[in-house]
Structure 1
Amino acid sequence: MAFIRRVRTASGATAVQIAEYVRGRQRIVEHVGSAHTEAELGMLLQRARELLDNPAQGVLELGIEPTPSVKGLVAPVGDSGLFTVPDAAVSADRDGPGRVVGTDSRILFDALAGVFTALGFDGLDDEVFRDLVIARVVEPTSLLDAGRVLRDLGQSAASYATMKRTLGRAAAGKYRDRIATWCFQHASTSGDISLVLYDVTTLYFEAEKEDELRKVGYSKERCVDPQIVVGLLVDRGGFPLEIGCFEGNKAETATMIPIIKQFQARHQLADMVVVADAGMVSAGNLRELDEANLRFIVGSRMTKAPTDLASHFRWHGDAFTDGQLIDTITPRTGHTKENNPDLRAEPVWDPATNPGSWRAVWAYSRKRAVRDATTLTAQENRAREVIEGQKAARTPRFVKTAGGKRCLDEASLTRARQLAGLKGYVTNIPANVMTATEVIGSYHDLWHVEQSFRMSKTDLRARPMFHRTRDAIEAHLTIVFTALAVSRTIQNRTGLAVANVIKQLRPLRSATIAINGTTQRFAPDISAEQQAILDAIHGPKSHALRK
């Protein structure tokens, strides 16, 4: 009669075998396998039973008809390993075949949680907040649906009521201030905080009425719904440093100074360079930055070019060479005139000798000129179509009204073509401190803050659709701000977009299997590419972790 026996091996594992008695001695018919855990042992025992219970099996060559009443045997503690007297069989009551209890992407969660900790955010000592941040990175959704995302990541999700209380705790506990401090510490040790980049965006609500925060204003997305204005300050690599929320009807130019001053006061900074695009340019902003002893680089509006480049146009016409740089001055206000076009040489800006002007750098690119020319031609054609009645539209560029009739604004079009290919930059940094090339290079880093905004609005879906009160909206932005820091770190470490990282790691499903009254978690098979991503994410440990 065949039976199952378990034997302790020299390595400490338990071997499961099927044996039979032949002339009073045991003969091993089949070695099923060796187990190192209770769950593995249970699975091997189940496999052995299936071999014995299957009348059609031909592996064992027992020459007998197995009976389904074979009983599972359990070796007593301290037994030598032989298990069995054929008639001392165990009870016929045994578990069914092994079953998968559940699967989850806990490997992804653990990787993201490691980044959260490495940035120092675990100092909040708030696991629910951490889970909401990680859920936002993996699959941005509503607070009500966040539990589903967390369960898919192998976490026991808090209740909806607890999550709502966490938002209140984030506002009352000034989580954003603390997170901003940790972000600054991270950036100061791994990045460059001597130069910061600033930009704004708008987030709209599908609401009928305005309130003290959500107001109708200028929208970059051309929406007419109530909105809020969000200002974001990042370091040179796009890592977030400060975020601010303003009323929807607040002018973009009025948001920069409060954010900069808040950042400066929080970290006791006396010297840094602020970079912003032309939309942030206003005489008041530049004056306040200069009075705060902060250096700035901002984009110049094209309307400034004829005045700033008056000397060039007089002496050289509209001829430029590819890559040509013109370092000159630009008036702080329209009433100031310090650039004398009668002088062929461009003036060198000096704060002492040119108190009514800023330094201006203009660059010409042939590639940009071709692009600008194509755009201008399209605008000219559209203007002509509107004038001739071929297309009904609101008055486009280069259309003016004279004598009660629409006509082409030839002068404006000629002037625009003359300026094609030019890009201007305004700064209060002298040429002996920063060259024109460095000014332009620093300004071009602005794409990092634009990329961070794209990440927050697409990958993280920052638009707070389901929040109504100011505290809830502010708490939501704190979660987005934290998630952006985690996402940026992942992107910097892996060189991949965070959406790509999630796409590759989320399918790594750990499985929980129940068999013979025990459960065991089994890790997934990880490819070399996936392992490389995980290794990059875990990256260098933070200083706090090394202690």
Structure 2
Amino acid sequence: MIRKDKKTFKDGTVKTQIRVTEGYRPYPNSSPKQRTVKSFGYLEDQTDLEAFWNEVNACNNSLKKKKDPTGRTPVAEMMYSDHNRLLNYGYKFPESVYRLLGIDSFINDYQKRSGFRGKYSLNEVFRYLVMDRILYPSSKREAAARLLNYYGLRSEFELPDIYRALDHFDCFFYDLQQYLNGKVTELTGRSLEYSFYDVTNYYTEKDFADPDEVYTDRRGRQTEGPALAQKGVSKEHQLTPIIQMGLFLDGNGIPVCMDVFRGNMSDSDTLKENLDGFKKEYGIRRTVVVADKGMNCSHNIDLLCSQGDGYVFSQVLKGTKGKRYREELFDPEGWHASESGDYRWKLITEEYTGHEIRFEEQDGEHTEKKKAVRRMRKVLLYWSKADAQMAAKKREEKLKRAERSTKNNAYGIMHGKDRYLKEETVLKETGEILEREQVAKVSVVDLEKAEKDALYDGYFAIITSEMDFDAAKIRSVYHGLWRIEESFRIMKSDLDARPIYVNTREHIRAHFLICFTALVIVRMIQHSMGERRLSAERIASCLRAANCLIEQGGYVRLLDVGGRIRYQEIPDKKTGKLVPSLKFSPEDQLAEDYRQIQETFGTDFYYAYAKQEIFKRFFSEIGLKR
């Protein structure tokens, strides 16, 4: 039916709004209600009333003729119509976690406090970018092109609004992380007795490092210094400028906080930058930081011990740093072995000289003061047969490549600064430069070095300040570090956090905040799944497959969530664990994963057709089991 509603504006103007509506019942035996099928704007704003009313009447007549409850339209009307557009509703599951964490309330409060005057909602932009990052990770420009691809998601903003919003996201870069920590602690009972820390880097699409800039540091001071994108040692062997990110995780593998640093900063220096804010802002009295050998430097150890914290770090055994452990390493006394003989370990106590570090503030600057002290720590030396075999196999491959390079120089390609180095051979006695015809340079394989490296095959060391830890406890705590490596993989691969396309410091930090929030949501879903948890890739795959069509008559047609054949799992002969085989299973992998997700969120909705009211009620019931 056609409705005419009078609307009075603030200036006293009265206009007539024209809508085509239809009646419906929200549920059986309920009172009838009306919903808008299409709004045609205000009658007084129309320039051609005859054409306007023809359009309104045509819409109303087509609605009267519509009697198919499934909402099917003739073939000639289907292409390029709103009723034929595929809409994703799978995002509703992570969106429910977004709401559970109260992120919408946090951003709306910020918007009110900051006096934001934009015509768009910061929360809508942030929520959209987080959901799109989980399902279809890509650039901000590509994300904006998908604004119409989600069922029921408000998206009253454009690409320029997204870039403007990134500046505001940077303003609550640290505050939102603290807020999320409080919510996650409330929901999961998070304990930060152990905090796992590591650093990785993300490459950009720039050719050159950014120039120095003026920015606001963590203490709110205006600082002039190097930009974030700098040339450094890329862990993915990229030659473009990179950006470092340090990440803290809790024992459940759920992110606690993160920060970004310039690409040429040493990994070990990032812990110093992160630790002070991590403890003060999160109200942590004492924590044991677990990290790999990249964080293991004397300054970090002194800093942790001076603050009353502990550490569990891996330790190199080769070179000058590992020299002090060689005697114990190759001494046959004191070693313990497993029943199979595949694992051996030795636990020793070591006294070492450290420094007590304190900071004195002068003229707003913090000056570091040191005092030498003696400390004790435990060192776990262990050997693994599987790791020894792997190391030997890798070295054998390197020796083969080295041998081939001596013959045809195929593996002697120079990179970077080496291209511009010049080498001359002289007589030591006189310093005379020899002519090229007088000398011959040859490359040989260094077998002696290979033999020395073979002595360390399968050996590892872990050092800890926790004197009450035994060998099993040290290994168990350190083993939890694999979760942070998995989180980095999720960030880089599943959330596609790199390459980084944005340029300014504010936009870069906002980009990482979006990725961090998406990672928290994915980890919360996995945590709720328990031992049956799905990988981030499988979660995103089945959520992307949850699509629907809006059909006339107020119906929603849900498409099948499936289409990927599952492989049968059989017990591994060595470990007994179930592993995928080459045989097909009669079950569908996506369908099974989607059932598990619905179970995790406490829902059970598998209808192919549903009224929009019932479908919306299904969304309101979605929530993580706690």
Q: 1:195 to 1:538 in 2, by over 3 A?
A: farther
Aligned to 1:95: 65
Letter in 1 for 2:103: F
CA distance in 2, matches of 1:144, 1:182: 27
Q: Quote how far apart the aligned CAs of 1:441 are.
A: 1.4
The question of 1:198 aligning with 2:192 is answered no
Uncovered stretches (5+) of structure 1, i.e. residues with no partner? 1-10, 15-35, 40-90, 335-353, 396-400
Aligned residue runs from structure 1 range 385-464, under 5 A: 385-387=404-406, 391-393=410-412, 406-430=443-467, 433-463=468-498
Report how many aligned residue pairs link the two structures: 431
Q: In the aligned structure 2, how far is the partner of 1:12 from the partner of 1:231?
A: 55
Instruction: For 1:30-429, list aligned pairs within 5 A.
Output: 95=65, 98=71, 99=73, 101-124=83-106, 125=108, 126-154=123-151, 155-157=153-155, 158-172=157-171, 174-187=172-185, 189-211=188-210, 212-303=227-318, 304-311=321-328, 313-314=330-331, 321-329=341-349, 355=374, 358-387=377-406, 391-393=410-412, 406-429=443-466
SS for the counterpart of 1:133 is: helix
Q: Residue 373 of structure 1: SS of its match in structure 2?
A: helix
Question: Is the contact made by 1:361 and 1:425 (CA closer than 8 Å) also made in structure 2?
Answer: yes
Deviations 1:485-539 (A, max 9, x none): 0111222334112221232233333332225xxx443555676763431231459
SS in 1 for 2:192: coil
Is the contact made by 1:331 and 1:357 (CA closer than 8 Å) also made in structure 2? yes
Distance 1:492 1:314, change over 3 A: closer
Deviations 1:412-455 (A, max 9, x none): 3333222211111111110xx21111111111111110110110
Structure-1-length-normalised TM-score = 0.70
Instruction: Give me the whole-angstrom Cα distance separating, in 2, the residues matched to 1:312 and 1:501.
Output: 45
Rounded Cα–Cα distance in structure 1 between residues aligned with 2:624 and 2:445: 67
SS at match of 1:302: coil
Structure index of larger Rg: 1
- The C-alpha deviation readout for 1:20-78, integer Å capped at 9, x for no partner, is xxxxxxxxxxxxxxxx9999xxxxxxxxxxxxxxxxxxxxxxxxxxxxxxxxxxxxxxx
Does the residue aligned with 1:180 lie in a helix, a strand or coil?
Answer: helix
Aligned counterparts of 1:93 and 1:233: Cα–Cα separation in 2:
57
- CA 1:450 to 1:312, structure 2 compared with 1: closer, same or farther past 3 Å? closer
Q: Identity across aligned pairs (percent)?
A: 24
Q: Deviations over 1:174-230 (max 9, x none)?
A: 144223332354146344421111111111112133222211111111222111111
Structure-1 separation of matches of 2:399 and 2:596: 52
Establish whether residue 466 from structure 1 lines up as the match of residue 501 from structure 2.
yes
Summarize deviations over 1:158-184 as a string: whole Å, max 9, x none.
222222232122122x14422333235
**Distance across 2 between alignment mates of 1:12 and 1:480:** 43
Flag the 1:545–1:499 CA change in 2: closer, same or farther, 3 A. closer
Judge conservation of contact 2:313–2:462 (CA < 8 Å) in 1.
Answer: yes
Instruction: Provide the rounded CA distance (Å) in 2 between the counterparts of 1:317 and 1:294.
Output: 29
CA contact (8 A) 1:308 1:329 kept: no
Judging changes above 3 Å, is the alpha-carbon distance between structure 1 residues 234 and 115 closer, same or farther for their aligned structure 2 residues? Answer: same
1: distance between equivalents of 2:411 and 2:124? 58
Whole-angstrom distance in 1 between the partners of 2:514 and 2:62: 55
Describe the SS at the equivalent of 2:342: coil
- TM-score when normalising by structure 2: 0.62
Q: Which runs of 5+ in 2 are unaligned?
A: 1-26, 36-60, 109-122, 211-226, 355-372, 415-424, 426-439, 562-590, 604-619
TM-fit CA distance, 1:264: 0.7
- Secondary structure (helix, strand or coil) at the match of 1:152 reads coil
Please state whether the residue corresponding to 1:200 is helix, strand or coil: strand
**How many angstroms does 1:269 deviate by?**
0.9
Larger % of strand: which? 2
Residues 319, 272 of structure 1: alpha-carbon distance in 2 compared, 3 angstrom cutoff? closer
How far apart in 2 are the matches of 1:355 and 1:488? Answer: 41
Q: Provide the residue aligned with 1:530 in structure 2.
A: 594
Partner Cα separation in structure 2 for residue 144 and residue 421 of structure 1:
48
Pair 92,134 (structure 1): closer, same or farther in 2 beyond 3 Å: closer
Residues of 2 paired with 1:429 and 1:240: CA distance?
24
Offset from partner CA, 1:282-333 (integer Å, 9 cap, x none): 1111111111111111111121555314045245599985322111246758
In structure 2, how many angstroms separate the alpha carbons of the residues matched to 1:121 and 1:470?
23
- Partner amino acid, structure 2, of 1:453: F
Identify the residue that residue 514 of structure 2 maps to in structure 1: 479
SS at match of 1:360: strand
The answer (yes or no) to whether the contact 1:362–1:424 under 8 Å persists in 2 is yes
Structure 1 CA distance, aligned partners of 2:268 and 2:62? 80
2:547 corresponding residue in structure 1: 509
